Amino acid sequence: MFEKFLHQAPFFRLVVPLVLGILFQINFQYAIFHVTAVLCILLFLIIILFHVFKLSSNYNLNKIWGLISSLLLFAFGVQLVHIKQKKEKTFNGNQQTFIATIIEQPEEKENSIKTILKLDFLKDSNHWNNGRTKILCYFEKDSSTIILNLGDQILANAFINEIKHAGNPYSFNYKTYLKYKEIYNQCFIKSNNYTILEKNKGSKVHLFSNRIRQQLLNIYQENGIQEDEFAVLSALTLGYKSELTPELKESFSTSGAMHILAVSGLHVGVIYIILCKLLFFLQRLKYGKYIQSIIIILVLFFYAFLTGLSDSVFRATIMFSFISIGKMFTRQVNIYNSIAASAFILLFINPYSLMNVGFQLSYAAVLSIIFFQPKMYSLLNTRNIILDYLWQLITVSIAAQIGTFPITMFYFGQFPLYFILTNILIIPIATIIIYSAFILFILSFSGWITKIIAIFLNFITRLLNKSINFIENLPYSKVDQFLVDGYESVLWTIFIFMISFFIISKRIKFLKFSLYLALLVFFYNASITYFNSKKSIFIVHHINKTTGIHFIKNNQSQLFLNNDVDSNDTNLKYNISPVWRNLEICKDSRSINSVHKPLNFLQFENKKIVQLQQNVLHNIDSKKRLKVDYLILSGNIDISVNKLNDHFEFELIIFDSSNNYYRVRDWEKECLKNNISFFNVLDKGAYIEYL
């Protein structure tokens, strides 16, 4: 049965070893020479075995050549990632003069303007060298930077620094996230440190796409669509998310409707279905199915173009294009083969796509829907059109959640309990919104008709927002304490595969194996909970301009902060909450204290810790050095490390994140000169020790 499936879906056999090769190189980063050498030896041994044992039957030949092809594709995946890794470029943190082009529409933040630059030229002495790298850039916010646009080429002077990971336990790794977008450095440009050299530079396709999208956004605003309705409508139809507030994002996430805001498979699928129904008459012509497929593919790519050629919509466009191509050449297309072919092409273009959460969720959801939905749908037959439509929505929702559950829990640590209700309410409304938006764009010149459509569109979008808000406020709208780590996520994925194999083959051994896996997950989860409760952890967090000293023992948490820090600060919660959540520390077991004295004596387990915020060493008797384990320097204290040696005997000195870069750099030089052990939180991320 499974061999028959592989025969019908040849691209599936190609994409699996390619994926394994990509994952291998990403996780281990072996030198490409070593990997190639090992594979060459393996291939040589296979050929030797082939001749020694005289494996001449067609069956054996197919096995041998299948294995050789898989190894070559594995090596190809390794090579694709290696090419990307060779392009990684970091700077020494010095001030640089450079020419760069804005390649992402600037986004207004609270205190800055955020964008992505493509470094064109970098000045080295009196020479200009090719830059050929992307930089995350923040401009100082003022009247001049607000008018910056995609395609502006600038001459600038700024410090270019490597992007650092804060390193707080269980926190989101922004450095790794940007790495897979091939962004390794960042800079902050003051308003008087740059000049616009030229407009409309860079990719003409992206510039034209952005211009068209901006005109469509203006149609919304000109017809009275504003505030939350404009934000949601812009994201839902055109992939423009800059207007979405954190509150709106949280509402959609909690209710399980975040996929609505990401222009992706749902939106492209709706357009694909509309086009198939509108162009059905072409099937009657001699070459009608070819004409129909070509028109559909062109329209899908045009829509991708309108939405700014974002990764998610481009991915969905490729996927549905392959489905359309499959239908062009055969009456009964193998949809698994079409999906595998689209994944192969996307990974060939950019192997880092595999590490994109959207990529993983898209393919997991589509494959799960294709496999599970028809089987669940066949369980209930009804002639009532409305009930049948509702049953379709329910089965699609459940099927999508089955496939995406391990990924969702691993990355986001939450699961929406009302996802069925959400999809029953939201998908029909979202579909109507997409239809209405396209009618509005087509008839935007028609005066009063446009106004009527805009009023309806504004109303239906407000209804969508209120529905989302209603679901979010229902009791127990989400589970956010059921956490899944990487190993558990893999186990759950294997569990889903085993259930799928059981459904395909009807072999009881797969069902037994899936039950054993479920028991393994249960015992693994119980053991992790037990060991977490026994951990004693000392952490000096990396929180911008803040001291965060954290002691955790027996599911009890003591956190020490600057006296002037609000314990409800969003940035603080972002960095601390993952620790509480993953170690299952309830609110009643969390203690938040202030380190308000110039000199603070702390003790945890058998470790003695001194935290200094001001130079008050003249109050300490220098004749007898105080023995401590750790010294923590905070608040840019004006003191030399040598002076500390006169008063303390310590194992390690820690520079926390409340200090500035220049002060810490001076301390580091002193430590290196005097052979003193130190840890720089600003550079290396949070200090973590298990006691």
pLDDT at 62: 62
pLDDT of 565 over the 80 cut: no
Residues 443 and 548 in one domain: no
Residues 312 and 446 in one domain: yes
Least confident of 147-151, 382-386, 654-658, 682-686: 382-386
Residue 676 or residue 9, greater confidence: 676
In which residue are the tokens 């699961």 written?
Answer: 415
Average pLDDT over residues 501-521: 83
In contact, 104 and 213? CB cutoff 8 Å: no
pLDDT at 538: 93
Residues 408 and 313 in one domain: yes
Residue 572 or residue 656, greater confidence: 656
C-alpha to C-alpha distance for 4 and 10, rounded to whole angstroms: 10
Residue 4 or residue 638, greater confidence: 638
pLDDT at 688: 93
pLDDT band at 8 (very low <50, low <70, confident <90, very high): low
Residues 420 and 280 in one domain: yes
Which ranges of 29-104 would DSSP assign to H, the alpha helix?
32-52, 58-86
pLDDT digits (tens, 9 = 90+) for 45-69: 666 666 555 555 555 556 667 777 7
Average pLDDT over residues 250-266: 72
Average pLDDT over residues 136-158: 86
Helix and strand tally (H, E) in the chain?
Answer: 23, 21
pLDDT of 270 over the 80 cut: no
Partners of residue 654 on adjacent β-strands: 632, 679
pLDDT at 332: 61
pTM (predicted TM-score): 0.81
pLDDT at 224: 84
pLDDT of 334 over the 60 cut: yes
CB count, 10 Å around CB of 356?
A: 18
pLDDT at 551: 93
pLDDT band at 70 (very low <50, low <70, confident <90, very high): confident
C-alpha to C-alpha distance for 389 and 391, rounded to whole angstroms: 5
pLDDT band at 351 (very low <50, low <70, confident <90, very high): very high
Domain containing 163 equals: 95-202
Residues 323 and 472 in one domain: yes
Residue 436 or residue 564, greater confidence: 436
The CATH code of the domain that includes 197 is 2.40.50.140
pLDDT at 2: 52
CA dihedral 584, 587, 588, 590 (to 10 degrees): 80
pLDDT of 33 over the 60 cut: no
pLDDT of 450 over the 70 cut: yes
Closest residue by Cα to residue 652 from 662, 663, 644, 640: 644
pLDDT at 46: 63
Residues 376 and 459 in one domain: yes
Token code pair at residue 160: 């270019």
pLDDT of 35 over the 70 cut: no
Domain boundary among 168, 186, 202: 202
pLDDT at 662: 85
pLDDT of 388 over the 90 cut: no
Closest residue by Cα to residue 630 from 598, 604, 662: 604
Number of domains, the chain: 5
Residue 34 or residue 517, greater confidence: 517
C-alpha to C-alpha distance for 229 and 464, rounded to whole angstroms: 9
Residue 369 or residue 566, greater confidence: 369
Residue 379 or residue 64, greater confidence: 379
Residues 463 and 353 in one domain: yes
Average pLDDT, the chain: 82
Average pLDDT over residues 334-340: 80
pLDDT band at 467 (very low <50, low <70, confident <90, very high): confident
pLDDT band at 549 (very low <50, low <70, confident <90, very high): very high
pLDDT of 545 over the 90 cut: no
Find the distance separating the first CA and the last CA of the chain, reported in whole Å: 53
Residues 549 and 680 in one domain: yes
CB count, 10 Å around CB of 275?
A: 20
pLDDT at 38: 65
Average pLDDT over residues 159-176: 88
Domain boundary among 534, 552, 567: 534
pLDDT of 539 over the 90 cut: yes
pLDDT at 141: 86
Residues 515 and 661 in one domain: no
Residues 313 and 251 in one domain: yes
Residues 566 and 521 in one domain: no
pLDDT band at 32 (very low <50, low <70, confident <90, very high): low
The CA angle 34-360-116, to the nearest 5 degrees, is 80
C-alpha to C-alpha distance for 678 and 682, rounded to whole angstroms: 12
Domain boundary among 534, 555, 573: 534
pLDDT of 286 over the 90 cut: no
Residues 517 and 557 in one domain: no
pLDDT band at 609 (very low <50, low <70, confident <90, very high): very high
